[in-house]
Chain A
Amino acid sequence: MLDDTDRRILRYYQSDPESASADLAERAGVTTSTLARRLERLRDKGILRGVRGVIHWPALGYEVAVSLRVTLDKTQARAFDEFLDAARDVPEVLEIQTFLGQVDVRLSVIARDMGHYQQLYRERLLTLPHIADIEALMHVAQLKTQESLPL
């Protein structure tokens, strides 16, 4: 089980995942060897999976980001599996989430501009199988993105 030291380390680590281990150790109030040992143990347990780079897609020319909230035709037994398989084939789909609630699946989609989005929407997204209803939310601004846990 985790103790307060583990939680403190993870709290500082998630706030600055690229900090040098000496800085992280100092902020968490442990020695660098304790830090290394604790992180090793968290990695072994599968709790700490790694440090990911979050791509800023506008810098690569993808200016449009849309959340597509999809309701599926659940009278089709394989609706979820077939929809998800087909959605994975669209390169512009960044995230696929399934839900319990009004919405069944959410796709996070990026496009170069509105013309490109229109083309993607008509040719690749509306053609995905078993869609009963689809609703789009256009992203205006991302105000908080770190996905930190309240440890």
Chain B
Amino acid sequence: MIALDDTDRAIVRALSADMTTSAGALGRQLGLSQPACWRRIKRLREAGVFRAARLDVDAAALGFGVTVFLGVKLAAKGQVSLEDFERAVTAIPEVQTVEHVLGAYDYRLRVVARDISDFERVLRRRVLTLPGVGNIDANVLLSEERRPGPL
């Protein structure tokens, strides 16, 4: 774990909003020289503070109007290979995220589709045919908000 001061926190906040911000521009906002800001960014990156850069696009404008969260329970635990299920589910292009969870479900999937009938196609042909799938619970996303988090 890496310790952050207020300046580091401001840098993390700024880069989480726009990863393409240059060290020079960010330094000017925060009253740091370009090299000083660059060194801080390098330290944060090397400590693994950023998992990845994500392209933020308007999915609906690109024709993907439906997002559904699926809770998946595996049918017979012990008899199905988690690796087989995980390999197959992460390979589905419409499945955007896969999380292994503990609780009422084993996996949580975020699935994107063009419309409800396209979602039905993905569900029937790709998800329900996965090895070991048991119970599935679906919730259609209406709105989504991402918060900055405790920085």
Q: Which residues of A contact B (CB under 8 A)?
A: 2, 10, 13-14, 17-18, 45-62, 67, 88, 91-103, 106, 110, 135-151
Q: Is B57 an interface residue (CB 8 A)?
A: yes
Q: Name A52's contact: one of B56, B99, B149 (CB within 8 Å).
A: B56
Cross-chain pairs A/B with CB under 8 angstroms, 12 sampled: A51-B56, A52-B54, A53-B19, A55-B49, A55-B50, A55-B51, A97-B141, A100-B142, A145-B52, A146-B54, A149-B57, A150-B112
Q: Name A135's contact: one of B93, B100, B103 (CB within 8 Å).
A: B103
Contact at B144–A100, with CB atoms within 8 Å? no
Contact at A52–B19, with CB atoms within 8 Å? yes
Within the complex, what minimum Cβ distance (angstroms) separates B68 from chain A?
A: 9
* Contact A55 B96, CB 8 Å, known A67-B101, A94-B146, A99-B69: no
Chain B residues with CB below 8 A from A138, complex form:
101-103
Contact at B101–A10, with CB atoms within 8 Å? no
Bound-state Cα–Cα, A61 to B110, Å: 26
Q: Name A96's contact: one of B15, B18, B103, B144 (CB within 8 Å).
A: B144
Within the complex, what minimum Cβ distance (angstroms) separates A135 from chain B?
A: 6
Chain B residues with CB below 8 A from A94, complex form:
146-147, 149
Chain B residues with CB below 8 A from A106, complex form:
69, 139
Interface size on B, residues (CB 8 A): 60
Chain A residues with CB below 8 A from B71, complex form:
137
* Contact A59 B52, CB 8 Å, known A138-B102, A143-B100: no
Within the complex, what minimum Cβ distance (angstroms) separates B16 from chain A?
A: 4
Chain B residues with CB below 8 A from A18, complex form:
19-20, 53
Contact at A93–B147, with CB atoms within 8 Å? yes
Chain A residues with CB below 8 A from B128, complex form:
none
Nearest opposing residue in chain B for A45, CB measure: B61
Chain B residues with CB below 8 A from A96, complex form:
144-145, 147
Q: Is B138 an interface residue (CB 8 A)?
A: yes
